[in-house]
Amino acid sequence: MRFLVTGGAGFIGSAFVRAVLRDFPTAEVVIFDALTYAGNLSTIADVLDSGRVKFVPGRIQDVASVEGTFRSFPPTHVVNFAAESHNDRSLLDAGSFIQTDVAGVYVLLEACRKFGVERFLQVSTDEVFGSILEGEFTESSPIEPNTPYAASKAGGELQVRAHVKAFKTPALVTHGGNSYGPFHFPEKLIPFFIVRLIDGKKVPLYGEGDQIREWIHVDDHAEGILHALMHGTPGESYNVGDVNERRNRDVVSILLEETGRDESFVKKIPDPRKGAHDARYSMNCDKLRALGWSPKREFIASLRETVRWYRENEAWWRPLIATADYQSFIKRFYGPSLGDDL
Ligand code: DAU
């Protein structure tokens, strides 16, 4: 088997590559990644050292780079993790989201059609379903995205659906829940708050922190995607989540405890997502569980372990938060409400 993992230098993609190397000792892997701000060679230093992984720099929306890679390394399995994925950035400017999450998926699907593959899997998100106040999303829940990011992911997965119908592309989609764990770029709730708390800075909680997210450890998520790829049916989609709903403020309490900070480090700010802030996510994952997958990591212990990982791996994240792009995003997005606490 030859895996082409686009976005493999990112958070979930790199965890997926580790799972492939562990479960398929003879598989070859190519990581194709644009190394934008959230993709990083230091995230995949260990897998590159394994000698079984080749790295190719490139953007999935670039037809020549994608086709060149399919030609020089004809993959049997293509898994697309490449994405712009931060809701808050999409509220400032969604142009790059449309380019990567919509146009990029189209380019990959066309390459699969032209060169032929055994399986293509598009990694999508539960956010395409919007918000659910009661009950759970199933794979056939209506697609009702509320942010420019979620809409771009919905656009990507609807193209997959069309390629399955129109060209019989052997493609699948997974919908992942909120993931946490090592190598998570420090802009999403958990890693952003951890690095700020380690540095003794206040953390910006949107509103009262009432929103509910269903958290899954990144390795459980990656293993779920691999399971869907190997055991799922082309044309189908699979939800990949844990039974682990938490209010934001309760997640933050664990982070405060583990970093030795108190409530005075939480600054409640006016909700910057306004009407686009989904109140709750919850997914029914029976379809993938019926194929033999289930998440294994316990949330509180794994979240504490994640905090310890950030403490022990400052060399990984300090350079990321020192970049001009990071500083300017934080100032632009949080500056008005964090004020002196920036
Ligand atoms: O559900 C899957 C999705 O989970 C993925 O598709 C997205 O790529 C991923 O970013 C995540 O989306 P969220 O918007 O839920 O994640 P985020 O960590 O940005 O925010 C989680 C919650 O925390 C949300 O209710 C907003 C809140 N929040 C977030 C940040 C960054 C804060 O209160 N303060 C913050 O500074």
Q: Is position 99 within any domain? A: yes
What dihedral do alpha carbons 119, 124, 128, 131 form, nearest 10°? Answer: 130
- Can you give the CATH number for the domain in which 32 is found? 3.40.50.720
Q: Is position 250 within any domain? A: no
What is the CA(248)–ligand 1 centre distance, in A?
A: 9
Residue 341 has pLDDT above 90, yes or no: no
Read off φ and ψ for residue 307, nearest 5 degrees.
-60, -45
Q: Is position 123 within any domain? A: yes
- For the question of residue 126 being annotated catalytic, the response is yes
pLDDT digits (tens, 9 = 90+) for 269-318: 999 999 999 999 999 999 999 999 999 999 999 999 999 999 999 999 99
Q: Is position 195 within any domain? A: no
Q: Give this prediction's pTM.
A: 0.98
Q: Is position 36 within any domain? A: yes
pLDDT digits (tens, 9 = 90+) for 170-222: 999 999 999 999 999 999 999 999 999 999 999 999 999 999 999 999 999 99
328: Cα within 13 Å, side-chain hemisphere: 5
Q: What is the per-residue pLDDT for 79?
A: 99
* Ligand 1 binding site (Cβ under 6 Å of any ligand atom): 85-88, 125-127, 176-178, 188-189, 192, 204-206, 209, 211, 213, 248, 281
Contact criterion met (CB below 8 Å) for 3 and 75? yes
- For the question of residue 46 being annotated catalytic, the response is no
Q: Is position 43 within any domain? A: yes
Domain span at 101: 2-180+214-240
Q: Is position 185 within any domain? A: no
Q: How far is CA 204 from CA 184, 188, 268, 297, 338, in A?
A: 18, 11, 6, 27, 7
214 CA closest ligand 1 atom index: 1
Q: Domain tally for the chain? A: 1
pLDDT digits (tens, 9 = 90+) for 127-173: 999 999 999 999 999 999 999 999 999 999 999 999 999 999 999 99
Q: Is position 297 within any domain? A: no
